[in-house]
Amino acid sequence: MTAELVRGENRPLIRTRLEVRITTDGSVIAGAVLGGDGSGASGPARVVHPGAPALPGLEVVPGTAAGHRLALDLSALPEGTERVQVFLALPAAGGGPTGFGALPAPFAAVGEPHGTEVATYTVIGLDTESAVVVLELYRRGGVWKVRAVGQGYAGGLAELLADHGVPDAVERAGAVAATRVLAPGSVDYTHRGRSPAAGSPPVPVAGDATGWSWEERLYNQVRGMFEDLARSVAAYRSAVDFAESRRDRELDRALADPRGRLDAGDGARRAARDRYVALVERAKAALDRDLARLRDESAVVEPALPAAFARWDNAVWQGAPLPVEAPMALRLGDLRLPEADRLRVPMLVRLPLERGLWVDSGRTSVVAATVDEDTHRRLALASAVAHVVRIVAVHPPGEFAVHAIDAAGAGANGLAPLLDGGALASPPARGAAGVAEVLARLTRRVDLVQMALRNEAVDALPSDLDTARQLLIVHDFPHGFDDRAVTQLRYLADEGPGVGVHLLMVADREDAAAFGPLLDPLWRSLLRLTPVPDDHLVDPWVGHAWTYEPSLPPSGGEVLHRVLARVAAARRDRGR
């Protein structure tokens, strides 16, 4: 779980291989000072920066899509190193801002390389300081920790280095400031070793990310696009918030001054407003620049995505062969933010699914309220069917067995493509008896597989047990469910994913209100999706409320029928 640090707060670090990723705006230099415990026993402090980017266990990696990045191996740092101070500094010249107060608040994240973040910190409260220690990684009692520092230096990098015991701090600061800086967000999209012609802008390239396979590189590139969009918008919002608070403080001071009734007071208020407008316009220009780059990248990435990651209108669905192995992730829709309404980032979830899915058929959003109830429920089922077709089509033939519960028969038309196309193992279960039979069968499967795994006796599973992954669609819940059936459903939602039984609910939570808080754990355990755009997804990383848009095929649904026909043909060939 990611910890959002405040100034002075610390967190222990379990891993020794880490990355520090920093996002800010403008031509900013990132680096680190390595030092001992303050006793001087370990010798003079050492500095790493883009002009001298590496020491054992630490490297400053320039020009990445995620902004500044420092790669660390705490176990390989030079002997005697007890602390690593990560800093940012503004160049001493060049016509840029003279203090961090004129820029969006820097955002720092510490995490595993290309993986989970451990801690984040947003550096607020800076003004005229042109250098700042953002984070400190230090060893205490044999345990490494990270601390949010946020200590600014009005005297710039020279003062910062001198404060940390670096010899010849003024000369060293001059050498660091002379480093050519690549502004964060200036993404080098070209392949390594290939540069654009002189004077031409960088050309986006699909798959230009780390990974062992083409699929993994594309997945990491999409993830990087999501991070870039989140950070760019966070930086813009932070800059606007700072500009507003600074304007309000200056206006308050002008009003509190008795001279405020004179022309000088009017001038001070105009100057405060002008500074506010200038800061916001600068932040908007930076955001527009980042969004333009991301739109260019999206334009080349989208056509290159494999079926599991692609939109339904992608040409890959027009005749791609069925896969021989499962993909690493699945596209469930798109994500966007209000500041970037024209930019969509694929919403990819890793496979196998760790949580069940819930397509919410309740009209709980502003957009949903504009759609009549019957249409909204029809869209919810259509969205669920599209998810099912995608899941089945991107796995090897026969790897998923799909079951459906439609106790009242209200979803007969919507589920018909799955039944006609052979994706459903049997017709949807009807009535309370059908609900009980399906839930009992899948509950038995979960029990048997769990028992076999615990006792390392998989070979002893009954011969009639379907070893394929199971996907259960539950439509029009809770019709046909009694207390026992609800308990079994909760059990499948909690225990099923670990042994290959997955749940897809199409339900309105209000319809099940009679069960009271009994069902609260069920709803929380599922990933909620909507059949119409809705801003219900909040990332724990930055805290944005993302608008989710479902992944639906073009009108008419012909692509689904063609895909299902290929799936059915492949299953027939496999059974011969």
| 426 contacts 450 by C-beta, under 8 angstroms | no
- Together in a domain, 75 and 30: yes
User: Are 25 and 142 found together in one domain?
Assistant: yes
Confirm if 232 and 187 have CB atoms less than 8 A apart: no
Residue 336, helix vs strand vs coil: strand
**Phi-psi group of 29: left, alpha or beta (phi > 0 → left; psi -120 to 50 → alpha; rest → beta):** beta
The answer to whether residues 406 and 470 belong to one domain is yes
Tokens 């009242």, residue? 408
**Per-residue model confidence (pLDDT) at position 496:** 93
Quote the tokens at residue 425.
Answer: 């193992």
420 with 273, same domain: the answer is: no
The answer to whether the peptide bond before residue 478 is cis (omega within 30 degrees of 0) is: yes
Do 389 and 504 belong to one domain? yes
Residue 423 in 3-state DSSP? Answer: coil
Whether residues 302 and 164 share a domain: the answer is: no
Domain count, the chain: 3
Enter the tokens of residue 153. 């230096």
| One domain, residues 282 and 149 | no
Question: For the stretch 471-499, what's the b/e string if a residue is b when 16 or more beta carbons lie within 10 angstroms of its beta carbon?
Answer: bbbbbbbbbbbeeebbebbbbbbeebbeb
How far apart are alpha carbons 202 and 186 in whole angstroms? 9
Q: What pLDDT is stored for residue 137 in this prediction?
A: 95
For residues 570 and 448, membership in a common domain is answered with yes
Last residue of a domain, one of 177, 201, 230: 177
Count how many residues are written for the chain: 576
Residue 13 in domain: yes
The predicted pLDDT at position 350 comes to: 92
Q: Coil, strand, or helix at residue 135?
A: strand
Task: Give the integer Cα–Cα distance in Å for 223 and 176.
Answer: 32
**What is the phi/psi pair of residue 127, to 5°?**
-135, -95
59-115 pLDDT tens trace: 887 554 346 888 898 988 988 899 999 999 987 655 566 788 888 888 899 988 766
pLDDT for 239 equals 86
Domain assignment present for residue 463? The answer is: yes
Residue 399 sits in the same domain as residue 520: yes
What three-state secondary structure class fits 404? strand
**Domain boundary at 177, 206, 223, which?**
177
The whole model's pTM is what? 0.66
Domain of 514, CATH number, reads: 3.40.50
**What's at 462, amino acid-wise?**
P
The 3-state DSSP class for residue 203 equals: coil
Q: Is residue 343 part of a domain?
A: no
Q: Which of 540, 525, 523 is nearest to 360 (CA)?
A: 523
Question: Is the domain of 296 the same as that of 360?
Answer: no
**Buried-state track 268-287, b at ≥16 Cβ within 10 A, e below 16:** bbeebeeebeebbebbeebb
pLDDT at 259: 57
- Do 159 and 76 fall within a single domain? yes
In a domain, residue 197? The reply is no
pLDDT score recorded for residue 306: 92
Within a domain: 571: yes
Whether the CB-CB separation of 440 and 501 falls below 8 Å is answered with: no
Which element (helix H / strand E) includes 346? Answer: strand 345-350
Residue 324 belongs to a domain: no
Distances (CA, A) of 227 to 31, 114, 381, 414, 463: 21, 11, 31, 36, 47
Element spanning 264, H or E = helix 263-301
Q: How far is CA 333 from the centre of its chain?
A: 13
Report if residue 333 sits inside a domain.
Answer: no
DSSP 204: P
Could you list the pLDDT tens digit for every one of the 576 residues in the chain?
A: 678 888 888 888 888 889 898 888 667 888 999 987 653 334 456 888 887 778 888 988 755 434 688 889 898 898 889 999 999 998 765 556 678 888 888 889 998 876 678 899 989 888 889 999 999 999 987 889 999 999 999 888 989 998 888 888 888 888 777 654 444 343 333 333 333 434 445 678 888 887 778 888 899 899 989 988 988 898 888 888 888 888 888 888 777 766 555 555 677 778 888 888 988 898 899 899 999 999 999 999 999 999 999 999 998 888 767 788 889 999 999 999 999 988 999 999 999 899 999 999 988 777 777 889 899 999 999 999 999 999 999 998 888 899 999 999 999 999 999 998 889 989 999 999 999 999 999 999 999 998 888 887 877 888 888 878 999 999 989 999 999 999 999 999 999 999 999 999 999 999 999 988 889 999 999 999 999 999 888 877 677 899 999 988 887 668 888 899 888 888 777 665
Domain that holds residue 250: 214-306
The angle formed by the CA atoms of residues 433, 434 and 435, to the nearest 5 degrees, is: 90
Q: What is the CATH number of the domain that holds 169?
A: 2.60.60.30
Let me know: does 49 contact 91? Beta carbons within 8 Å.
no
Q: Is residue 184, in this structure, part of any structural domain at all?
A: no
Structure tokens at 290: 């980042």
Phi, psi of 328 (to 5 degrees): -90, -15
Strand 329-336 vs strand 345-350: parallel, antiparallel, or unpaired? antiparallel
Residues 102 and 27 in one domain: yes
